[in-house]
């Protein structure tokens, strides 16, 4: 059975729970709820797994904090024997409008500290990622406050629907492949 490691980036702790930067955790929480599974706290993160259409989806929420995500990703890739093509990293993206999903098979870290650490630890930029747009509605020098800030009321009205769409993209990645998923979900 093919296995896929789906990593949602975020920061642990209640202070960060509803921030834009934690969208990776939020998407995995919604996917776990939909599949009626719960996370277990294990080494370097919270893990949950489910099978769907002959594929195993391993959901990981690293407990290493965003800037050290690579350690958890590398550990679970080795432990579960997963190569980079069966890895999907989910993170927030300031360069995309709110709720826009962009899936790519590789790329730069785009200034994202979680991706920067993963790239450094894995020694490659060649791994799939799902970027979730959080917009850039902040003034100069306020980027950190923005990503670590809570969602605005108008965003919250649409957030669950966008999170559900991201969950559908994750399932598609494992069952239909990366190219099909990019064609069907990018910029939608």
Positions marked active-site: 21
Strand locations in the chain (E): 2-8, 40-42, 45-52, 55-62, 87-93, 101-104, 129-133
What percent helix, strand, coil does the chain show, rounded to 5?
45, 25, 35
Report the SS3 class of residue 74.
helix
Q: What is the number of other CB atoms lying within 10 angstroms of the CB of residue 95?
A: 14
Q: At what angle do helices 178-185 and 153-176 cross, to 10 degrees?
A: 150
Cβ burial, residue 133 (10 Å; 0-12/13-18/19+): buried
- In angstroms, rounded to a whole number, what is the distance separating the alpha carbons of residues 72 and 130? 18
């Amino acid at each position: 059975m093919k296995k896929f490691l789906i990593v949602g980036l975020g920061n642990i702790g209640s202070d960060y729970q509803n921030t834009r930067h934690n969208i990776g955790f939020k998407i995995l929480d919604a996917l776990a709820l939909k599949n009626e599974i719960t996370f277990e706290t294990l080494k370097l993160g919270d893990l949950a797994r489910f099978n769907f259409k002959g594929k195993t989806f391993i959901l990981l929420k690293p407990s290493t904090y965003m800037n050290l995500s690579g350690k958890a990703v590398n550990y679970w890739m080795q432990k579960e024997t997963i190569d980079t093509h069966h890895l999907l990293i989910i993170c927030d993206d300031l360069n995309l409008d709110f709720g826009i999903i962009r899936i790519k098979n590789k790329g730069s870290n785009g200034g994202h500290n979680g991706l920067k650490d993963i790239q450094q630890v894995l020694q490659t930029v060649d791994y799939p990622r799902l970027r979730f747009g959080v917009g850039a509605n902040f003034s100069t020098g306020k980027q950190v406050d923005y990503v670590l800030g809570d969602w605005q009321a108008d965003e919250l009205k649409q957030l669950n629907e966008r999170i559900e769409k991201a969950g559908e993209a994750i399932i598609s990645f494992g069952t239909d492949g990366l190219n099909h998923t990019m064609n069907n979900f990018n910029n939608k």
